[in-house]
Amino acid sequence: MGAESGMMGTMVAGLAPFHVVLPWVPSLGVDLAFRIDGLSLLMLALIVGIGLAVFAYGSAYMAGAAGRPRLFGLLTAFMLAMAGAVTTDNLVVLFAFWELTSVVSFLLVGFKHEYEPNRRAAQQALLLTAGGGLVLLAGVLLLGAIGGTYSIQALIARGPDLAAHPLLPVALACVFVGAFTKSAQWPFHFWLPNAMAAPTPVSAYLHSATMVKLGVYLLARLNPAFDSLFMWEATLVTVGAVTALWAMALALRERDLKRILAWSTVSSLGTLVLLIGLPGPGAAEAAAAFLLAHALYKAPLFFVAGNVDHCTGTRSIDRLAGMARVMPWTAAIALAAGLSMAGVPLSLGYVAKDLIAIAKTEGLAFEWVSWATMVAGAVSVAVASVAAVRVFWHRGGASLPSGIHEASPGMIAPPLAVAALGIVFGVAPSLALPLIRDAARAMLPDEPGRVVVFPDPTGTQGTFLVFGLGLAIFLGWDRLHRWMEGLGWFDRFGLAAFYTRSMKRIPTVARVVTTRLQHGRLPGYLALAVGTLIAAVTAAALAGPAVTWPAWSAPPAAVIGASALIAAASLAACLLRDPFVMLLATGLTGLGTAVLALSLGAPDVAFTQFAVEVAFVVVVAAVLLRVRACSPPGAVVEHARARALMAGALGALVAALILIAASAPLDEAMPRYFGERAMPQAFGRNVVNVIIVDFRALDTLGEIAVVALTFIGARPLLRWLRARESENGGAA
């Protein structure tokens, strides 16, 4: 473990970023490399800090519940996977941790697997995030091939040199898909609200503060390498702005408090992606500040939703009003977190949103984005008001459920501490600024940057406008909800509707494919396999370089004779109809192959081929003689022409491949290697035998083991056949 030099600034702990490398698969360039800088430290603070609050809250929330040890075991595994993902400096290792978070998330979302909606939500989350992870793997491999390394820091250093590579857009597109699916960006945004079927501690941890930010982290980590590319900036800004605005529009269609908060989380993730794509030094600092502020107010709000659900049995805002008098502590938590979410002064959310306003001002090339984010910010104010005011302070016309009580101290202290921390950082931003600065420098190390503590005049005017519009949306929430709910095209179009239709059609498609392909006829399976092989090899040959055919030279007479024997026997095997005679013809092809090997100076190969061919013909002939009595007379060969055409095509393809291989220059390295080591190391003069017995000893042992296991597996069948023959009086 050694300190890296040349980095700007210092860590919060007063130390420079450190890097440790442990060799893992050096031949593939994959090392267990871990590096902690400002961005990693910020993510670790969220993972560990919010994680501790989740563990403390979950111990009270799940008190007496079945499966509690399983929940905490999965949360621990998830915490370790997230910590590995945000600290590794190797893209392949990051992908391994990335997929581990998807698998653990699937188990956590489907924690109450006895309910069908939970299983469907877990399935949807896994299909999208793990599917996006596979696309990310393609991007990781392409980046590694383009840059010649899987080290993230090395790729960042070589970023300017990679811009002209023709495959870079493809690699970045794959990275975008992986990051967008993980961070619920449009058009993959719909899985996150459905994942709210998970227990509240899971929602507060995975789907608010940590896992869904992993895609944002990857984009922020790679930003120094590709921030100068127009494709990078335009994609992130466009997708982030659309996600932020679209998610807030969908939040207006919800009545479930937890799903409303989930859609606002999707909008916040879109804002983070947008900030990473924005040019200018202020965007990185705004992203780092908003990353911290969002976790410190959204996790407590999810805890609040859990307290409300736990104590009232409902999360519907239609049935919740004026609850502050019976749940005062939960109401205080909601108010503190809501103030930060709305961006009220003296909260960290206010500092973050002021930095966002400055970042948008600097990113003049994307000025149109300001209007989208302003509307999203106004709806965010309305959502904060719903969670903090409507549920607890607004009387409304709803009758409160009976038996409401305040949550236990174990469900109050953790969210209260997290929400209070957001207020403390808002009152004294200097406490959080070192962490924010270092994280920003990791996202954009070449920019000097600055952190603004006091409000900028332009940002203040925008804040007043956002507050005014947010208040109007809050007051007209029910009317907007009825109007948005009436827009049925929201449910008919988009990737969410496509996903639903696709899942419904899977059984139909599976039934058709199974009927066509799994028909139970061996010739059909063989034709499919051979046809696929012919098509794949032909396509690869056509896509490859031009083929140079070898010059013709007359072969020896023995080679001509052996080849003629093989050809005649093969033609006879195709024309004959009697299985026994066909077997003898195929045996002649094997004997012709043995003669060909003998004429080419390979007596050992010829002897082996001869022995195996004779044994095969004898054994199969014995079986065929007994099967003939059971076979119906006059067996008909179906699709003879198609089979002959396919056999001819395969034969021509194999012949062409042999000619191409024969025309290639012979590499003397392998024969020289075995020739030089056969006698000193294996004490044998016959190189072929030495390769089979010594150099390929494990391979040969494996083949022998397969034959032995096949015989052992066939013994019960042979015993059954013998017993049946005895019962039938010796008849076959």
312 has pLDDT over 50: yes
Instruction: Tell me the mean pLDDT in the region 128-152.
Output: 91
Query: Closest Cα to residue 232, out of 161, 154, 172, 167?
Result: 172
Same domain? For 343 and 460 the reply is: yes
Residue 415 near residue 209, CB atoms below 8 Å? no
Same domain? For 292 and 183 the reply is: yes
- CA 9 to each of CA 16, 280, 292: distance values in angstroms, whole numbers, following the listed order: 8, 19, 20
DSSP 2-69: EE-SS-SS--TTS---EEEEEEEEGGGTEEEEEEE-HHHHHHHHHHHHHHHHHHHHHHHHTTT-TTHH
Specify if 308 maps to a domain: yes
177 has pLDDT over 90: yes
456 has pLDDT over 60: no
Specify if 507 maps to a domain: no
The model's pLDDT over 247-262, given as tens digits with 9 standing for 90+, comes to 888 888 888 888 888 8
Confidence of residue 628 (pLDDT cuts 50, 70, 90): low
Q: How far apart are CA 83 and CA 229, in angstroms?
A: 29
Entry pTM: 0.75
The model's pLDDT over 574-589, given as tens digits with 9 standing for 90+, comes to 777 777 778 888 888 8
Q: How far apart are CA 51 and CA 80, in angstroms?
A: 11
Specify if 503 maps to a domain: no
Q: At what angle do helices 91-109 and 168-182 cross, to 10 degrees?
A: 30
pLDDT of residue 95: 93
Same domain? For 467 and 554 the reply is: no
459 has pLDDT over 50: no
Same domain? For 125 and 217 the reply is: yes
Same domain? For 481 and 536 the reply is: no
Confidence of residue 297 (pLDDT cuts 50, 70, 90): very high
Same domain? For 67 and 190 the reply is: yes
450 has pLDDT over 60: no
Choice between 553 and 240, residue whose per-residue pLDDT is larger: 240
CA 144 to chain centre: 17
Specify if 279 maps to a domain: yes
Question: How much of the chain exceeds pLDDT 90, in percent?
Answer: 18
Q: Which of 258-272, 406-420, 598-612, 637-651 has the lowest mean pLDDT?
A: 637-651
Report the number of distinct structural domains present in the chain.
Answer: 2
Same domain? For 82 and 225 the reply is: yes
Instruction: Tell me the mean pLDDT in the region 452-472.
Output: 63
DSSP 508-552: HHHHHHHHHH--S-HHHHHHHHHHHHHHHHHHHHHHSPPP-PPPP
Q: Which of 69-83, 327-341, 385-399 has the lowest mean pLDDT?
A: 385-399
Instruction: Tell me the mean pLDDT in the region 591-606.
Output: 81
pLDDT of residue 451: 47
Query: Closest Cα to residue 79, out of 42, 96, 104?
Result: 104
CA dihedral defined by 117, 120, 123, 125, rounded to 10 degrees?
-60
How buried is 572 (Cβ within 10 angstroms: 0-12 exposed, 13-18 middle, 19+ buried)? Answer: middle
Which tokens is 206 given?
């995975």
Query: Closest Cα to residue 263, out of 251, 249, 245?
Result: 251
The number of C-alpha atoms within 13 Å of 380 and in the hemisphere containing its C-beta is 32
Q: How far apart are CA 526 and CA 135, in angstroms?
A: 32
Coarse DSSP helix, strand, coil percentages of the chain, rounded to the nearest 5 percent? 75, 5, 25
Strands (E), 596-719: none
Q: How far apart are CA 159 and CA 397, in angstroms?
A: 60
Q: How far apart are CA 403 and CA 413, in angstroms?
A: 22
Instruction: Tell me the mean pLDDT in the region 185-211.
Output: 84
Domain C-terminal end among 447, 468, 487: 487
Residue 33 near residue 149, CB atoms below 8 Å? no
Cβ burial 71-105 (10 Å sphere, 16+ → b, else e): bbebbebbbebbbbbbbbbbbbbbbbbbbbbbbbb
Specify if 460 maps to a domain: yes
Domain C-terminal end among 469, 487, 505: 487
Residue 87 near residue 66, CB atoms below 8 Å? no
The model's pLDDT over 14-63, given as tens digits with 9 standing for 90+, comes to 455 778 888 888 877 788 889 998 899 999 999 999 999 999 998 888 88
Residue 292 near residue 348, CB atoms below 8 Å? yes
Choice between 89 and 483, residue whose per-residue pLDDT is larger: 89
Residue 194 near residue 124, CB atoms below 8 Å? yes
pLDDT of residue 14: 47
Same domain? For 168 and 117 the reply is: yes
Residue 228 near residue 200, CB atoms below 8 Å? no
DSSP 429: G
Specify if 725 maps to a domain: no
Q: Which amino acid is at 234?
A: A
Confidence of residue 547 (pLDDT cuts 50, 70, 90): low
Q: How far apart are CA 614 and CA 76, in angstroms?
A: 62
Specify if 22 maps to a domain: no
The model's pLDDT over 346-381, given as tens digits with 9 standing for 90+, comes to 889 888 888 888 887 776 556 667 777 788 888 888
Q: How far apart are CA 20 and CA 31, in angstroms?
A: 10
- pLDDT, the chain, mean: 81
Query: Closest Cα to residue 221, out of 138, 296, 154?
Result: 154
pLDDT of residue 50: 92
Question: How much of the chain exceeds pLDDT 70, in percent?
Answer: 87
Q: How far apart are CA 86 and CA 105, in angstroms?
A: 17
Instruction: Tell me the mean pLDDT in the region 675-689.
Output: 82
Same domain? For 59 and 203 the reply is: yes
Specify if 237 maps to a domain: yes
pLDDT of residue 87: 93
pLDDT of residue 549: 63
Same domain? For 407 and 310 the reply is: yes
Q: Which amino acid is at 609?
A: Q
Domain span at residue 88 reads: 2-9+28-487
Domain C-terminal end among 487, 508, 532: 487
pLDDT of residue 458: 43
461 has pLDDT over 60: no
Query: Closest Cα to residue 382, out of 371, 398, 394, 370?
Result: 394
The number of C-alpha atoms within 13 Å of 609 and in the hemisphere containing its C-beta is 17
Q: Which amino acid is at 542?
A: L
Confidence of residue 541 (pLDDT cuts 50, 70, 90): confident
Range with top average pLDDT, 139-153, 388-402, 618-632: 139-153
Q: Which residues contact 577 (CB under 8 A, 6 or more apart)?
A: 635, 637
Q: Which of 135-139, 180-184, 247-251 has the lowest mean pLDDT?
A: 247-251
User: First and final CA of the chain: distance in angstroms?
Assistant: 75
Q: How far apart are CA 237 and CA 186, in angstroms?
A: 12
Instruction: Tell me the mean pLDDT in the region 322-337.
Output: 87
Q: Which amino acid is at 59?
A: S
pLDDT of residue 441: 86
pLDDT of residue 11: 44
Q: Which of 511-525, 622-636, 687-701 has the lowest mean pLDDT?
A: 622-636
Q: How far apart are CA 605 and CA 626, in angstroms?
A: 32
Instruction: Tell me the mean pLDDT in the region 369-397.
Output: 80
Same domain? For 469 and 558 the reply is: no
Please list the residues that pair with 20 across neighbouring strands.
34
**Three-state DSSP state, 296:** helix
Length of the chain: 732
Same domain? For 85 and 142 the reply is: yes
